[in-house]
Amino acid sequence: MCEGGFNQSYDMLDINKIREDFPILGDTVYNRPLVYLDNAATTQKPRQVVECISQCYYHRNANVHRGVHYLSQEATEAHEQARESVRSFINARSTSEIVFTRGTTESINLVASSFGETLKEGDEVIVSQMEHHSDIVPWQLLASRRGIRLKVWKFDADGVLHVDDLKALLSDRVRLVAVAQASNTLGTVNPIKEIATVVHGAGALLLVDGAQSVPHFPVDVRDLDCDFLAFSGHKIYGPTGIGVLYGKEQVLERMPPYQGGGEMIDHVTFEKTTFNVLPYKFEAGTPDFIGSAALKAALDYVSALGIENVAAYESQLVDYMIGCLAEIPQIRIFGPRQRIGVASFLVGEIHPYDLGTILDHLGIAVRTGHHCAQPTMDAFKVDGMVRASVAVYNTKEEIDTLIESIMRAMRMFH
């Protein structure tokens, strides 16, 4: 379709075989083969994950940590095995550092609400300009409650954050810096290890939004030295409603509970309640033990493929996609050349919603709008963008179909 080579199999991965694990990829939309390129929003689920959910509900459905009977103990073991799988996947030091949540958004809200209780008026939190709303609004809510000051670390014209600009924002009042490891809109990958060194040198903590990084390339929290990392199961081939907050044990120990209820307690009287040990102190109520088991199945699936193989294949795929898009007349592609598998763009004067609607009727699923990143849109002075985002099951042929369909849409507007 366009210039540039492409190795469909990428040696270590049989993409056609992988696609067989995702039945939805064989569906049709408006009588056309589905081309699913909205993976930054949510990924499709392999049979292994869906079957795990079914098996758990059919044969292992019992509340965890609460019963002496066999089913409860079996469910508890599966839930804690999932915690260990997460720990291993991101190389945390201990399962005490792995808190199950409903997703990245709840994980960040947990930190804002709990760590936020330790902040006082005049303290400062820095967030980057490219953050998802879920890493902006919780800090704004905290600012209104606690009187803290929110400072913005801006990116350059290419959508790149510079550490020198962060250094200029740091002061002895900064308590935390929140930044995405990879932008959901621009695809920018930020140098978290370098950022952590600078942030810690200023005496602050670092929270990393890993929603777009953990599914796509190796993430080692000990190597990065971040204090918190949040990610969602549904973006890494797992179910919705399950997510993770990683936090350094010594940091989590100092934080008060996020919610009250069962599981997070040690002893309750009307006079005083003492709290459970980590990570249970932050897991009030019945956990999503079905979701955690399915998240383990998803992580096992990715681990069997090899996250390094996934990263290399997707890098090749997005390079091909960006190269092809760049050949389209009047296209504007946002973000740096080196990126994760996300391409946000506009074509001429075509409204992103109109282009997205046409692509949909041609069987192609993309995202249109502000992508829950309105400050990013404001920085580029646009109302919205079209976003195509890849996963390990996407193919060169699907990118070709995307390009052909964009060209067809352009002809319709002339």
Active site residues: 372
Per DSSP, the three-state class of 324 is helix
* H/E run at residue 364: strand 364-365
Tell me the C-alpha distance between 177 and 200, whole Å.
10
Which one-letter amino acid corresponds to residue 22? F
Beta bridge partners of 99: 245
- Alpha-carbon distances, residue 208 vs 188, 192, 247 (angstroms): 14, 8, 10
Tell me the C-alpha distance between 360 and 407, whole Å.
14
Beta bridge partners of 332: 346
* H/E run at residue 81: helix 70-90
Tell me the C-alpha distance between 333 and 187, whole Å.
11
Handedness of CA 114, 120, 123, 128 (dihedral sign): positive
Q: What angle do CA 211, 340, 135 make, to 5 degrees?
A: 30
Contacts of residue 295, defined as CB under 8 A and 6 or more positions apart, other chains included, come to 82, 85, 86, 233, 238, 239, 242, 244
**CB 64: neighbour CB atoms within 10 A?**
19
The backbone torsions φ and ψ at residue 325, rounded to the nearest 5 degrees and listed phi first, read: -60, -40
Backbone angle region of 94, left / alpha / beta, with phi > 0 → left and psi within -120 to 50 → alpha: beta
What is the bridge-based pairing of β-strands 331-334 and 342-347?
A: antiparallel
- Alpha-carbon distances, residue 198 vs 170, 303, 362 (angstroms): 9, 32, 48
Tell me the C-alpha distance between 86 and 88, whole Å.
5
